[in-house]
Chains A and B, each alone.
Chain A
Amino acid sequence: MIGNLPSDPHPWSERREAGLANTTMRQTLGLVTRRFSVGKRRVFAEDPEQEAARRLGVEAKRQAIANLDSLLDQFASKVRSNGGTALMAGTAHEAVEAVRSIAATHQVKVVVKSKSMLTEEIQLNRGLEAAGLTVLETDLGEYIIQRAHETPSHILAPAAHKNRQQIRELFEDDAKTAGLAPPVSDAASTLTQYARERLRREFLQADMGVTGGNFGVAETGTVVLVTNEGNADLVTTLPRVLVTVMGVEKLVARWEDLTLLIQQPAMNGIGQRLSAYTTLISGPAASVAEGPAAWYVVLVDNGRQRLRHTVYEDVLSCIRCGACLNVCPVFRQVGGHAYGSVYSGPIGVVETPLLTNFGVGAELPSVACTMCHACKEACPMEIDLPGHIIRLRQEKVRRHLNAASLTASYHWWSRIWATPRGYRWSLRWARRLQGLYQRQGRLVRAPGIARGWFQTRDMPPVAQETFIEWWQRHRGGLDRERRS
């Protein structure tokens, strides 16, 4: 089944320009992505045995994808025997409907959420609000962008595009409607304190908590959540109903597999050995003292299983650590919004068109990758991101999704340069014509697909004597002598 992802109506060029123009975002992303990457190198250097765990973890994830059908059954029945309820949702729509009907069954009015990319993917908030529910994001970054009616710009730093002054203004408006004292300064600690107090009230009134899931363990029916703020811990233990919405690909077979993987998101994504809070849920609460009295797990496919048994299958092992975003040069420049998809950075470039069969983000493989391979080096799950980006570019050629001028250029250029005669002929013509495009001995413009280069850069002209021509003139005879 082909997945359904939300898409940004603005074209790439507008999204890119908005990203390049947002200096706050570029500064913040520059700071956090480098801090995360440096931290990652440090923790792996200090605990080299984690490298062995990572490798075994990759194997466990690959195995789980191979056996996904039986793992899904095993997980669901284990959750049931632990006292919870597991539901399968094939599409984004089905997933939202499942959560809505749970909310209706339990007469829920207020929902608190911890950060979940999947709920962004299925646009759960919109679906629940349409049913008359109040939905509050509780991750600080998510809360900020919810107030601004925006979407995350980095999976680990969702509000990286906002500066302190902007956040203070958002909170001042919020304080008016909530009847609270506004934050007294724009210091990060003051703004954080405001959000803590503001959300505390909502937490205590909430009937239902919604979380994502970082891992699911089939053997034990356990869901694992990692956060640093502790918000997921309030979401899971305060409301009487807890709903975990999780992609089917998050399952691993055994508890032991989890032990290999549990540190990987934090180690690779933010350079911590483990997130400050890791929560493992295996059933509803044991007493009435705290929540949840009822626990549901909604397992969402939305285009994922379609990738099994294809060359792209390894994409399903993504643990959403964000390591590929942190090292991606394009991501650092344009930020997450420019991708126009819930999933940004290299994994978003690959996953968005794959899940939607090029319905969303078809432009991404071409526009958002310099082919530098930093993501491949960074990915703890050894996903062949640059290889997939090339494959998706090839797929675009097959589907005629590129500009006709680009395709025509490559068609003729490759045919002409595939013979030495054609190569030399093309250079002779270039020497004849390049006078039209020169200033002070430099090429300053050019026709065709090369035009973009000359928007911002010069180029030396085609040499009057190429190296090979020079070689033939000076060494050609000598070479032949030696070879014979």
Chain B
Amino acid sequence: MSVDLKSLWRETFRARWEAAGGHYYQAADREALGSLLAQAWGELVTGQTLSGRVVYWVPPAVEDWPWETWLHRAGAQDLFKWDATADMRSRAAACDVGLTGALWFAAETGTVAIAQGPTMGLLPTVLPPVHLIVVDAASVVPTVQEGLKQLQAQGSLPPMLKLISGPSMTADIEGTLVVGVHGPGKVGVIVYGVGDGG
């Protein structure tokens, strides 16, 4: 029952996220993740005049996966792993791609929730022109309301939580829609563990 529900929510998420201008990929298993990263890189990064510098952090649960290998294979040049003990501002600003994990993603609004924390930073979500988000398929929730309720139920809130529902955009000049104002113009969500019954 819950399996079906979650795959339905993921479908809704995908529709809403793509309607907002986001890109969506889902990997059945860990092995597929590497090639999906390459595909996402090809669609979001390649072709833009970008140097391929990446700032990244991934959720603790999947930290031991071969992210560096995958990223290099996808086309990344330099990799900066998020280091919470150093000032990351100028380093993140010099990168073209930010890769981060996420707490959960919500179907109805097509939203991804990302928290600031001791090992997780928000600058990679907003400084580079491309933002890739890797998220566990099982963490899908039907609505932002539900995700926020779960977060509160866990006890303590992160100092900063960000809900992302599409690329950075504006209509401030004559009402014309333009993406990529201050934040990324390209955002991609890569869902992993879809085949794990998540």
Chain A residues contacting B157 (CB-CB under 8 Å) are: 220, 222, 280, 282
Contact of B175 among A28, A139, A233, A234 (CB under 8 A): A28
Contact of B181 among A47, A192, A275 (CB under 8 A): A192
Q: Are A288 and B87 in contact (CB under 8 A)?
A: yes
Chain B residues contacting A273 (CB-CB under 8 Å) are: 16, 108-110, 165
Q: Tell me the residues in window 121-175 of chain B with beta carbons closer than 8 Å to chain A beta carbons.
A: 121-123, 125-127, 144-145, 148-149, 152, 157-175
Q: Does B28 contact A (CB under 8 A)?
A: no
Chain A residues contacting B175 (CB-CB under 8 Å) are: 28, 31-32, 35, 157, 160
Q: Are B182 and A199 in contact (CB under 8 A)?
A: yes
Contact of A196 among B92, B158, B167, B181 (CB under 8 A): B181
Q: Are B160 and A279 in contact (CB under 8 A)?
A: yes
Chain A nearest Cβ from B20, distance in angstroms: 7
Q: Does A177 contact B (CB under 8 A)?
A: no
Q: Are B148 and A285 in contact (CB under 8 A)?
A: no
Chain A residues contacting B79 (CB-CB under 8 Å) are: none
Q: Does A231 contact B (CB under 8 A)?
A: yes
Encode B15-39 as 1/0 by CB contact (under 8 A) with A.
Answer: 0100010000000000000000000
The chain A residue with its CB closest to the CB of B123 is A290
Q: Are B148 and A258 in contact (CB under 8 A)?
A: yes
Q: Does A274 contact B (CB under 8 A)?
A: yes
Q: Does B183 contact A (CB under 8 A)?
A: yes
Contact of A286 among B16, B158, B167, B172 (CB under 8 A): B158
Q: Are B83 and A229 in contact (CB under 8 A)?
A: no
Chain B residues contacting A140 (CB-CB under 8 Å) are: 170, 172-173, 181
Give complex CA distance A291, B123 in Å: 9
Q: Does B198 contact A (CB under 8 A)?
A: no
Chain A nearest Cβ from B45, distance in angstroms: 18
Evaluate whether A281 and B90 lie within 8 angstroms (CB atoms) in the complex, with A159-B172, A167-B173 already known. Answer: no
Encode A285-324 as 1/0 by CB contact (under 8 A) with B.
Answer: 1111111000000000000000000000000000000000
Give complex CA distance A451, B86 in Å: 73
Q: Tell me the residues in window 52-94 of chain B with beta carbons closer than 8 Å to chain A beta carbons.
A: 82-90, 92-93
Q: What is the number of residues of chain B that contact chain A, defined by CB distance less than 8 Å?
A: 57
Q: Does A53 contact B (CB under 8 A)?
A: yes
The segment from A128-136, A259-267, A472-480 found at the interface with B is A259-267
The chain B residue with its CB closest to the CB of A255 is B152
The 7 closest A-B pairs by CB, nearest first: A230-B183, A141-B172, A230-B168, A287-B84, A188-B176, A278-B163, A229-B181
The chain B residue with its CB closest to the CB of A228 is B169
Q: Does B100 contact A (CB under 8 A)?
A: no
Encode A40-53 as 1/0 by CB contact (under 8 A) with B.
Answer: 00000001000001
Chain B residues contacting A163 (CB-CB under 8 Å) are: 174
Q: Does B197 contact A (CB under 8 A)?
A: no
Q: Are A188 and B174 in contact (CB under 8 A)?
A: yes
Q: Does A82 contact B (CB under 8 A)?
A: yes
Chain B nearest Cβ from A334, distance in angstroms: 18
Chain A residues contacting B171 (CB-CB under 8 Å) are: 32, 157
Most A C-beta atoms less than 10 A away, residue of B118, B165, B184:
B165
Q: Are B162 and A278 in contact (CB under 8 A)?
A: yes
Chain A residues contacting B88 (CB-CB under 8 Å) are: 289-290
Contact of B122 among A167, A258, A290 (CB under 8 A): A290
Q: What is the number of residues of chain A that contact chain B, defined by CB distance less than 8 Å?
A: 71
Q: Are B163 and A195 in contact (CB under 8 A)?
A: no
Q: Are B172 and A277 in contact (CB under 8 A)?
A: no
Q: Are B178 and A233 in contact (CB under 8 A)?
A: no
Chain A residues contacting B167 (CB-CB under 8 Å) are: 276
Contact of A274 among B109, B160, B170, B176 (CB under 8 A): B109
The chain B residue with its CB closest to the CB of A259 is B145
Chain B residues contacting A277 (CB-CB under 8 Å) are: 126, 162-165, 168, 183
Chain A residues contacting B162 (CB-CB under 8 Å) are: 233, 277-280
Q: Are A281 and B160 in contact (CB under 8 A)?
A: yes
Give complex CA distance A191, B157 in Å: 38
The chain B residue with its CB closest to the CB of A30 is B175
Chain A nearest Cβ from B56, distance in angstroms: 13
Most B C-beta atoms less than 10 A away, residue of A35, A204, A278:
A278
Give complex CA distance A289, B165 in Å: 25
Most B C-beta atoms less than 10 A away, residue of A162, A196, A200, A256:
A196
Q: Are B90 and A204 in contact (CB under 8 A)?
A: yes
Give complex CA distance A138, B93 in Å: 17
Chain A residues contacting B176 (CB-CB under 8 Å) are: 188-189
Chain A residues contacting B195 (CB-CB under 8 Å) are: none
30 A–B pairs (Cβ distance < 8 Å), ordered by A:
A144-B172, A157-B175, A192-B178, A193-B180, A229-B168, A229-B182, A230-B184, A233-B122, A233-B125, A233-B126, A233-B182, A237-B121, A237-B122, A237-B123, A259-B149, A262-B144, A273-B109, A274-B165, A276-B168, A277-B126, A278-B163, A279-B160, A280-B163, A282-B157, A282-B159, A282-B160, A287-B85, A287-B118, A288-B85, A290-B123
Give complex CA distance A158, B172 in Å: 7
Q: Does B42 contact A (CB under 8 A)?
A: no
Chain A nearest Cβ from B103, distance in angstroms: 12
Q: Are A234 and B170 in contact (CB under 8 A)?
A: no
Given contacts A192-B170, A291-B89, 4 further A-B contacts (CB under 8 A): A237-B160, A273-B110, A286-B117, A289-B87
Contact of A279 among B85, B87, B161 (CB under 8 A): B161
Chain A residues contacting B83 (CB-CB under 8 Å) are: 289
Q: Are A285 and B170 in contact (CB under 8 A)?
A: no
Chain B residues contacting A35 (CB-CB under 8 Å) are: 175
Q: Are B173 and A191 in contact (CB under 8 A)?
A: yes
Give complex CA distance A274, B163 in Å: 9
Q: Does A236 contact B (CB under 8 A)?
A: yes
Give complex CA distance A418, B83 in Å: 81
Chain A residues contacting B165 (CB-CB under 8 Å) are: 272-278
Chain A residues contacting B184 (CB-CB under 8 Å) are: 230
Chain B nearest Cβ from A223, distance in angstroms: 10
Q: Are A195 and B181 in contact (CB under 8 A)?
A: yes
Chain A residues contacting B169 (CB-CB under 8 Å) are: 228-229, 276
Chain B residues contacting A279 (CB-CB under 8 Å) are: 160-163
Q: Does A24 contact B (CB under 8 A)?
A: yes
Q: Are B123 and A238 in contact (CB under 8 A)?
A: yes
